[in-house]
Structure 1
Amino acid sequence: MFKTSFTLLALAVSTATFADEAINKNQLTDTQMERVVVSGSRVFESIDEVPASITIINQQQIEEHLKVNPELQSLLAQMVPGLAPDTGSSSNTGQTLRGRAPLIMIDGVPQSTPLRNGSLGIKSLDPSAIGRIEVIKGATSIYGNGASGGIINYITKQAKSDGKTEGEISLSSRFSAVKLEESAGARLSAAINGRADKFSYLVTASYEENGVQRDAQGDILGLQYGLSDAVTQNYFTKLGYDFDDEKQLQFSYNYFSSQQKTDLGDVAGDISLGEKTYAIHVPSELQKQGKPQGPEGNENITLKYIDYALFDKTQMTLDLYMQDIENVFFFSPNLANQDENYDGGQSIIRSEKKGARATFNTLIDFDSIEASFIYGIDALTDVTSQPLVDGRIWVPEMDMQSVAGFLQTKWVIADDLIVKAGVRKESIDLTVDDYRTLKLCKTPTQCSVPINVKGDTIDYDATTYNVGIKYNLDEKFSPFLSYSQGSDISDIGRLLRAATVNDIGQIQTQASIIDNYEIGFNSKFDNVRIEVAAYRSTSELGTTNKFNEVTGVYEPVRAPQEIWGYETLVDYTISANLKLLATYSYVEGKNTEADVYLGSKQISPPKATANLNWQPNDAMSLTLSYLYVGNRKRFAANDDGKHVGDQGPVESYNIFNLTGQYQFADNWQGFAGIENLFNEDYFPARAQSYTFGGYNIKGLGTTATVGVKYKF
């Protein structure tokens, strides 16, 4: 029978480390580290005690993928069952988790902007600063608003504990193997960490300049959310001080910027005709107008204090955090207003968050029951808006004040039966002042009608519950069953900017309660680990869009939704030096009121992945990865033979990547990677299904990365 989880939990609590630091301590073996998770309950627990689907991406897997593609979207699509395929761009719109939006976090601090979801949260940190990634699937309220699909938590690297200063420098170049011209880029990353008595420090920095990105035919990819000529910078530091063995303080700061600075212009194609949008060099008057698109210096500051022995068997964690986000979008002619001499516009999502969290963890050991009680209070202020660069206000300031209390319990009965139950009570006040919607013209005769909207403060009160059970009957069969709820007021900004009534109280801004049901099992044999899960989630209010032919605007439709699917994972150790990790996931969903399928903004086509790693000796390793994206053809074309919105048909495609590394000296390592090894000529799933202009951009052709790393 199992009795690994409570031992790991006790060890993690007793070690003199930060709550998210113990996973990297030498006290835990690599195998134990793989089986510990912190995101789901906000304290350490073993995966064996979690009645839900979890994906852990470790540092080695992150570094392997970094050799072929530095984009976190690509890494997550390859490694996480249930996450939609990579979009091949800086935007993760359409890259849902089990058909709903995930909450992106860095060390538990939200990076998403749920009040006006611009779908740029996944690209908020450089992979070189990440120690591991934890993905908790299914609606959850443990971290509050925006987690209707689950949680993607980037756990940053930690300073070593042995007192010795260590560091590394990596230099690489990425370029098109189809047509080299102008495609070569450069990437430099560095890190240093160490400990001096009670003080620990970690500093990482990365700087990357892309060349142009080319498709399988050698043409430059279209520029909408494009990565050609993008300049990305990330500077991260984490400082810690141990007052004693039981009390510690940690400060972290993160700066991230990634903007496309290019002199190219788009040649528009039509996806309904199979035509791609691609970029060429054009005169300045035809180049992309406005500011460079992308995150413009987003910042995070976090202060964490931990007392491992506040009371007998009670640990306390206090978090204070601040965040300043400014995400710049591309210039769009759809934001025109000829009456006021605007031939288009460019929007910015601005979000300022200030938050505080107090989390307590009390352990109680009865005769045959080990119980833990996790409880606390969260407070958050989130001020988000979406102005245009030219000064017009598209989405007014939304001032959200949130206070929540929560209790999460776990009962380990006779070592093998785990029962979890929890409740979260959240109170949200959302204040919006009086505003006027924008007049926007798709053509001179196709314009929205602006109206004056009376502002107000809207109160949301939601109580959500979760309960789960897992029975570690045997390593060969460990079943689980869970029910969880999430409260979501995501993308209120989209509702406000498309208002058709003159009072905010009449806009359908109600919170959506998501009910998530999941059943599955884990099995472990001698050389094989298997995970299988099936799920269903329902919500009385979804967020989809319908095209208004009169105004040319996509307007929100709040309607009940049902989403269902299944996932499977096989981890097979073929031999001591050959390992295979394979996954398959399927998701589908409907608007149950109209009995119609949901579009690809939420539902992705079937996906299969495989990663085969061969390590013949300690100095060398090779990894071959495979991505299969299947068909999804749920929608009929209009009378003119064209699809609308996000209802385009998706044809299947196959992508192979190859990476390798060789340790040619004690401190020196060379590495290389090839993306799209066989130069597949394809449109990514989003490009096929989105009929919106500018998204019909092909995927990368064969692209190579070569580099060297020095450790000291």
Structure 2
Amino acid sequence: MKHLLFCMFFLSVFGLYAQNASIYGTISDENNQPVPYATISLKGTSKGTMANDQGSYRLEQLEAGQYTLVFSAVGYIKATQQIDLKANESLEINFTLQTDLEALNEVVITSNRVRETLDEVPSSVSVLSSKQIESYQQTSTNIADVLLEIPGISLSTNLTSNTGQTLRGRKMLILIDGIPQSTPLRNGSRDINTIDPNTIERIEVIKGATAIYGNGADGGIVNYITKKTDAAKPFESTTMIGSTGALKTIEKTVGANISQTFSGNLDKLGYVVNGTFRQTGVFRDADGEVISPYYGIGETDQYSLFGKLNYQIADNHKVELMYNYFSSNQNSDYVAQVGEYGVTPSIGVLGEDLAVDQGNRYNHNAQLTYDFTNIFKNTDFKLNLYAQDFRTVYGYTTSFYDPNLGFDGGQSSIISTKMGARFNFNTTYQFGEVSGNVLYGLDVLNDVTAQELIDGRPWVPETDMTNIAPYAQLKTLYKNFVFKAGIRFENIGIHIPNYVTLTRYAAGATTPSSGGVAVDGGDLDYNATTFNAGLRYNKWSVFKPFVSFSQSFSIADLGRTLRSATESTVSQINSDAVIANNYEIGFNSRIGQTNFSGAYFISTSKFGATYTELPSGIFEIDRQPERVYGFEVAADTKLSQHFNLGGSFSYTEGKLDVENNDNFDTYMNSDRIPPVKGVLYLGYNLSNAFNARISYIYSGSRDHFEANENGDYSYGQGPISSFNLVNLSTSYQMSPSTTIGLGIENLLNEDYYNLLSQFAARNNDYIKANGARFNVSLTVKL
């Protein structure tokens, strides 16, 4: 027994000695900059490791022999190197990875419910990476401004409301990790600014009508994808502090923000947690005048709390839990001094606002995701269970004057609660040279939305919608062709209780001008089938064309229709759904280090969703047929090792068939159709340490409408004048862990009015845009 134990001990020591060789080194790029978190493995073995944030790595406990080292990293070309490792040797291997020039074509999108590259999608898609989001928010921390350079999306409003910020002239559906943020049952236009940029990993924009996520995506979808649990270490920390303010007159404009992120991976558990607080100061225009606080985002306290846990139950199934809280409330020391449209702007003057704080009071989102890979033959399963609880409060207005109840005015609030489930199956197939997948499943959504006044008066009754929608999507790959086709069956039931419309009075009147109608509730049913089909050809990198057709389904702001009802029963109300048909042809191209893309689209619908202002000031929805059309082009090129140049141009126009005779000869209002938009940018990168980006944004004019006999314009028809903006963002990496940033919004201090201020043609809304503003930041990563 002693001899046996001695032999075992000797063999184990010998084995440890024989496996005492190691490999170490640094992974860098062609600019001699470290490539963080690159993967290094030994081909044909289970041995491997990941480089640290400085590109350094080490492989230990290796046996002597000949090996093939494999080096890979996101955005770089995978490479190998043969080595001959001697016993007890410590071998240094430093390796340079080459940037993958085709990496942009391999951008992965997930908003189609399955991971796909852009070359597999026969439609127009824009993706903002985390680096782009960081650069854009260095100029403005407002998430609506982060979207402004995306072709097809209208410019932001600088308000809590995103009225007029459309996608290809139609309403877009806003999502957070696929959870609907929009409230299509009562479209309050408060869905874009519902998340903090520091919570977002990437933004995916799918353009054109789509029904993949259900009700409300006539122009497309914008999906905010939250940060991933993919940290390389058990614990990582990112701290960011910053300050903002005006350059013209800094008094009372200084704001502050702080954001803290913790993330890590512990064996099978990954986590990421973020908390952010932002406080903005007074906003001033180019002349240094205080901007009117009416629906503004100046003097706002913004809170955000985000968390995500991911647990790998086994090799083929995992579970993930996400929660996000967002709140944005304005608490201003100023009140609006109303100007005169087209003459003098509305400004802010010191005063006491007796109303409660306006803004997105709260937005809770929670989601549980379960993934089961290969649940049965060639089929993956994903289950999403989600919930959203949202409330937004609007500003005070005297239009809610009611002498009988003793109210001089009032504030309204939209409350929406959603709960849903998605059951998704993805089955892959291959028959010879033909391969692809079939995505199919069932969506279930319950949406309860109401609008009430802060004083308790109901305005829109509690509308309870249940949507059950089975769907199927086929993708086929054959040689250089990609074909996609899908179908979705919408089965929507909406219950509306008995209600009385809000009694409205003209200012100072004692007799009601409208409202007070008792409406018998009931059930509304909407059943529709929507289709999509597309074809892409990928043989030539210099020209990859695609053609597509897609449909969307939406209920055109039912709440607005209900609150202004004049009929006595719900069944008599005209609330036909809108089915939008999107026809598109486009291409992607790469010539050397230059990328091009372009698309032309036509979007039609039998029923419209355009707001018209009546003489009483009440809005109604026009249901005439609509035709929206336009094109988008974009280009980006690497001028040299340090410089890149790019730009885009977007044109959208829309007309109505007022007489319903197939003659589309009436221009649609500018709250739907924006003027042309041009973007030009120049980027500079010095060894990944110093980055600078200057962008020029041109917004054109749009003037299709005539004033009435009093010289006044209806809402949405005010003439729009062109303006030019220049923004600057810079960052400098002082050390491996510390980065400072400086951004300037409206660098040239352009004096202009936002689009909504011009097209709304109302005194309250006639508000100038921000003058030059700065944003400085310090980021420390540990």
Q: Which residue of 313, 320, 323 corresponds with 1:253?
A: 323
Shift of 1:29: 3.3
Counterpart check, 1:501 vs 2:572: no
**Partners of 2:623 and 2:573 in 1: CA distance:** 10
Task: Check whether the contact 1:41–1:408 (CA below 8 A) recurs between aligned residues.
Answer: no
Opposite residue 499 of structure 2, the aligned amino acid is Y
Aligned twin of 1:15? none
Aligned twin of 1:76? 147
Task: Check whether the contact 1:687–1:697 (CA below 8 A) recurs between aligned residues.
Answer: yes
**Partners of 1:401 and 1:449 in 2: CA distance:** 28
Opposite residue 509 of structure 1, the aligned amino acid is S
Aligned twin of 1:705? 775
Aligned twin of 1:448? 514
Task: Check whether the contact 1:62–1:75 (CA below 8 A) recurs between aligned residues.
Answer: yes
Deviation string 1:491-533 (CA, Å, 9 cap, x unpaired) is 1101101112111111111111111100111111002111010
**Partners of 1:531 and 1:33 in 2: CA distance:** 12
**Partners of 1:626 and 1:553 in 2: CA distance:** 38
SS of 1:575's partner is coil
Counterpart check, 1:532 vs 2:603: no
**Partners of 2:505 and 2:290 in 1: CA distance:** 30
Q: Which residue of 571, 582, 603 corresponds with 2:673?
A: 603
- Which runs of no fewer than 5 residues in structure 2 stay unpaired? 1-71, 77-99, 660-664
Task: Check whether the contact 2:445–2:466 (CA below 8 A) recurs between aligned residues.
Answer: yes
**Partners of 2:370 and 2:109 in 1: CA distance:** 16
Counterpart check, 1:585 vs 2:585: no
Q: Which residue of 492, 505, 526 corresponds with 1:428?
A: 492
Shift of 1:40: 4.4
Q: Which residue of 440, 444, 450 corresponds with 1:385?
A: 450
Opposite residue 489 of structure 2, the aligned amino acid is K
Aligned twin of 1:659? 729
Aligned twin of 1:11? none
Aligned twin of 2:483? 419
**Partners of 2:505 and 2:410 in 1: CA distance:** 11
Aligned twin of 1:619? 689
Relative distance call for 1:107 and 1:34 in structure 2 (3 A) is farther
**Partners of 2:236 and 2:320 in 1: CA distance:** 19
Shift of 1:593: 2.5
**Partners of 1:692 and 1:544 in 2: CA distance:** 18
**Partners of 1:653 and 1:161 in 2: CA distance:** 43
Task: Check whether the contact 1:39–1:153 (CA below 8 A) recurs between aligned residues.
Answer: no
**Partners of 1:433 and 1:474 in 2: CA distance:** 58
Deviation string 1:9-28 (CA, Å, 9 cap, x unpaired) is xxxxxxxxxxxxxxxxx864
Show the 5 A alignment for 1:154-165: 154-165=224-235
How large is the Cα RMSD of the aligned pairs?
A: 1.4
Task: Check whether the contact 1:99–1:587 (CA below 8 A) recurs between aligned residues.
Answer: yes
Counterpart check, 1:567 vs 2:637: no
**Partners of 2:307 and 2:184 in 1: CA distance:** 26
Shift of 1:226: 0.4
**Partners of 1:234 and 1:493 in 2: CA distance:** 29
Aligned twin of 2:346? 277
Counterpart check, 1:55 vs 2:126: yes
Aligned twin of 2:26? none
Relative distance call for 1:344 and 1:263 in structure 2 (3 A) is same
**Partners of 1:226 and 1:238 in 2: CA distance:** 31
Task: Check whether the contact 1:258–1:295 (CA below 8 A) recurs between aligned residues.
Answer: yes
**Partners of 2:459 and 2:484 in 1: CA distance:** 44
Moved more, 474-483 or 333-342: 333-342
Q: Which residue of 695, 702, 717 corresponds with 1:632?
A: 702
SS of 1:493's partner is helix
Among all aligned residue pairs of Structure 1 and Structure 2, give the percentage whose two residues are the same amino acid.
38
**Partners of 1:644 and 1:271 in 2: CA distance:** 12
Deviation string 1:566-621 (CA, Å, 9 cap, x unpaired) is 00001111112111220100101011124311111210010011221101222111
Task: Check whether the contact 1:448–1:553 (CA below 8 A) recurs between aligned residues.
Answer: no
SS of 1:64's partner is helix
Deviation string 1:140-175 (CA, Å, 9 cap, x unpaired) is 001000111100001111122534311110111001
Task: Check whether the contact 1:448–1:552 (CA below 8 A) recurs between aligned residues.
Answer: no
Opposite residue 532 of structure 2, the aligned amino acid is N
- Which runs of no fewer than 5 residues in structure 1 stay unpaired? 1-25
**Partners of 1:113 and 1:151 in 2: CA distance:** 14
Opposite residue 107 of structure 2, the aligned amino acid is V
Counterpart check, 1:521 vs 2:521: no
Under a length normalisation based on structure 1, what TM-score does the superposition of the two structures give? Answer: 0.94
Task: Check whether the contact 1:447–1:552 (CA below 8 A) recurs between aligned residues.
Answer: no
Shift of 1:41: 2.1
Shift of 1:82: 0.6
Q: Which residue of 321, 332, 339 corresponds with 1:262?
A: 332
Aligned twin of 2:55? none
Relative distance call for 1:339 and 1:548 in structure 2 (3 A) is farther
**Partners of 1:576 and 1:206 in 2: CA distance:** 36
**Partners of 2:167 and 2:723 in 1: CA distance:** 20
**Partners of 1:192 and 1:185 in 2: CA distance:** 24
Shift of 1:369: 0.8
Counterpart check, 1:65 vs 2:65: no
Opposite residue 487 of structure 1, the aligned amino acid is F
Under a length normalisation based on structure 2, what TM-score does the superposition of the two structures give? Answer: 0.85
Shift of 1:545: 2.3
**Partners of 1:379 and 1:666 in 2: CA distance:** 47
SS of 1:546's partner is strand
**Partners of 2:636 and 2:729 in 1: CA distance:** 19
Moved more, 495-504 or 133-142: 495-504
Deviation string 1:99-121 (CA, Å, 9 cap, x unpaired) is 11111001111111111111111
Moved more, 98-107 or 552-561: 552-561
Aligned twin of 1:330? 395
Task: Check whether the contact 1:145–1:490 (CA below 8 A) recurs between aligned residues.
Answer: no
Counterpart check, 1:439 vs 2:503: yes
SS of 1:67's partner is helix
Task: Check whether the contact 2:685–2:691 (CA below 8 A) recurs between aligned residues.
Answer: yes
**Partners of 1:103 and 1:429 in 2: CA distance:** 20
Q: Which residue of 75, 84, 98 corresponds with 1:29?
A: 75
**Partners of 1:501 and 1:656 in 2: CA distance:** 51
**Partners of 1:137 and 1:547 in 2: CA distance:** 29
Counterpart check, 1:678 vs 2:748: yes
Aligned twin of 2:719? 649
Opposite residue 241 of structure 1, the aligned amino acid is Y
Relative distance call for 1:435 and 1:600 in structure 2 (3 A) is same
Opposite residue 141 of structure 2, the aligned amino acid is P
SS of 1:474's partner is coil
**Partners of 1:626 and 1:343 in 2: CA distance:** 45
Aligned twin of 1:191? 261
Task: Check whether the contact 2:370–2:383 (CA below 8 A) recurs between aligned residues.
Answer: yes
Show the 5 A alignment for 1:275-354: 275-282=344-351, 284=352, 287=353, 289-354=354-419
Q: Which residue of 472, 475, 486 corresponds with 2:552?
A: 486
Shift of 1:665: 1.6
Shift of 1:33: 7.6
Opposite residue 138 of structure 1, the aligned amino acid is G
Aligned twin of 2:537? 471
Aligned twin of 1:457? 523
**Partners of 1:92 and 1:679 in 2: CA distance:** 23
**Partners of 2:139 and 2:640 in 1: CA distance:** 25
**Partners of 2:106 and 2:224 in 1: CA distance:** 16
Relative distance call for 1:463 and 1:169 in structure 2 (3 A) is same
Shift of 1:639: 1.4
Aligned twin of 2:282? 212
**Partners of 1:161 and 1:171 in 2: CA distance:** 21
**Number of aligned residues:** 679
Larger radius of gyration: 2
Q: Which residue of 94, 109, 117 corresponds with 1:38?
A: 109
Show the 5 A alignment for 1:225-264: 225-264=295-334
Aligned twin of 1:9? none
Counterpart check, 1:556 vs 2:626: no
Aligned twin of 1:170? 240
**Partners of 2:159 and 2:316 in 1: CA distance:** 45
